[in-house]
């Protein structure tokens, strides 16, 4: 596996490459969820590039940028086992040579300001900008993202379409622990007792989807879910049912829905979602 630690190294390697390329953008601390994206990428293209870059532009001032787990050697070992062609791990100076304050950025309006975007102002500007930069740097044919970050995936899909980018964006179902908890690098922040509580999020999503499918009014199901999660000790950021395409409130005729949750267990903010039809 090629370990490319600068844009120059990436460009030199990429210019000699023949065949198609699939990119899996990550912030490292890879778990089985990421590795499943790599497996899917292998089926989509001749070469798989995994980027590892903890993107400062998508973290708010009081968020966990400094604490974000960095496990580069273990990540590389796992990627070698999965047959990755190259890992691209640029420095912050390489990605943002003029600093962040005056960096040109990409804003996907509307969808970036709701749900996680309302709680984390500027987050999706940071995500859209780094993903666009990675697409320009790596020049992939296909890029793979996890559906756990459902809003992120929709933001990236809209950005790619709006800017006529020739990258095919694919989403991959959320990888879960045996008890249903969505795999996430942030699960590592949970204490033992918080980890034991965390599966209630997915259980609540499943119950809520089932009662909506049985005819319960969406607002009632959302409220019930909020009560269950609060009773279990979670501090709710949002619990919302939205239509899948643009994450706006569903109209009576909308059939393709997704329920999204963001909630704190202690200091850890967890997100999850469940897509369902009614």
Note the residues at the interface with ligand PAF (CB under 6 A): 25-27, 55, 58, 127, 130-131, 149, 152
Least spacing, CB of residue 153 vs ligand PAF, in Å: 9
| 32 known ligand binder | yes
By beta-carbon proximity to ligand PAF, the closer residue of 82 and 226 is 82
By beta-carbon proximity to ligand PAF, the closer residue of 25 and 117 is 25
Structure tokens at 194: 């918080």
| 227 known ligand binder | no
> Pick the catalytic residue: 10, 21, 25, 34?
34
Could you report how far apart the first and last alpha carbons of the chain are, in Å? 45
Buried b (16+ CB within 10 A) or exposed e, 184-202: bbbbebbeeebbebbbbbb
Least spacing, CB of residue 218 vs ligand PAF, in Å: 28
87 vs 98: CA distance, rounded Å: 24
| 148 known ligand binder | yes
Cα angle 119-130-110, degrees, rounded to a multiple of 5: 45
Least spacing, CB of residue 209 vs ligand PAF, in Å: 24
| 137 known ligand binder | no
By beta-carbon proximity to ligand PAF, the closer residue of 58 and 204 is 58
Starting at the earlier edge strand, list the strands of the sheet with 142-146: 2-4, 86-88, 47-52, 21-26, 142-146, 168-172
229 vs 181, 198, 234, CA distance in Å?
14, 10, 6
Least spacing, CB of residue 167 vs ligand PAF, in Å: 13
Starting at the earlier edge strand, list the strands of the sheet with 268-277: 235-243, 256-265, 268-277
Q: How many CB atoms lie within 10 A of CB 67?
A: 9
| 273 known ligand binder | no
By beta-carbon proximity to ligand PAF, the closer residue of 149 and 240 is 149
47 in catalytic set? no
Annotated binding site for (R)-pantoate: 58, 152
Annotated binding site for beta-alanine: 58
Residues annotated as catalytic are: 34
Question: Annotated binding site, which residues?
Answer: 27-34, 58, 146-149, 152, 183-186
């Amino acid at each position: 596996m090629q370990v490319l630690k600068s844009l120059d190294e990436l460009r030199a390697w990429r210019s000699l490459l023949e065949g198609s390329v699939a990119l899996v953008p990550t912030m490292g601390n890879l778990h089985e969820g990421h590795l499943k994206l790599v497996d899917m990428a292998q089926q989509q293209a001749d070469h798989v590039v995994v980027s590892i870059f903890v993107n400062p532009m998508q973290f708010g001032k009081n968020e966990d940028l400094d604490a974000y787990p960095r496990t580069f050697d273990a990540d590389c070992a796992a990627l070698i086992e999965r047959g990755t062609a190259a890992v691209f791990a640029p420095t912050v100076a390489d990605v943002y040579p003029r600093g962040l304050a005056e960096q040109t950025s990409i804003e996907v309006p509307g969808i970036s300001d709701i749900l996680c975007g309302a709680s984390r102002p500027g987050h999706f500007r940071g995500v859209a900008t780094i993903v666009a930069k990675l697409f320009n740097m790596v020049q992939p044919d296909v890029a793979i993202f996890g559906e756990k970050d459902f809003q992120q995936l929709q933001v990236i899909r809209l950005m790619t379409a709006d800017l006529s980018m020739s990258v095919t964006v694919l989403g991959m179902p959320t990888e879960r622990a045996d008890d249903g908890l969505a795999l996430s690098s942030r699960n590592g922040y949970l204490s033992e007792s918080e980890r034991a509580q965390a599966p209630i999020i997915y259980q609540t999503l499943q119950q809520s989807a089932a009662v909506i499918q049985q005819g319960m009014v969406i607002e009632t199901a959302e409220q019930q879910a909020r009560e269950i999660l609060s009773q279990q000790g979670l501090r709710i950021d949002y619990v919302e049912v939205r239509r899948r395409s643009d994450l706006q409130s569903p109209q009576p005729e909308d059939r393709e829905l997704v329920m999204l949750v963001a909630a704190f267990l202690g200091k850890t903010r967890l997100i999850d979602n469940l897509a369902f039809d009614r």
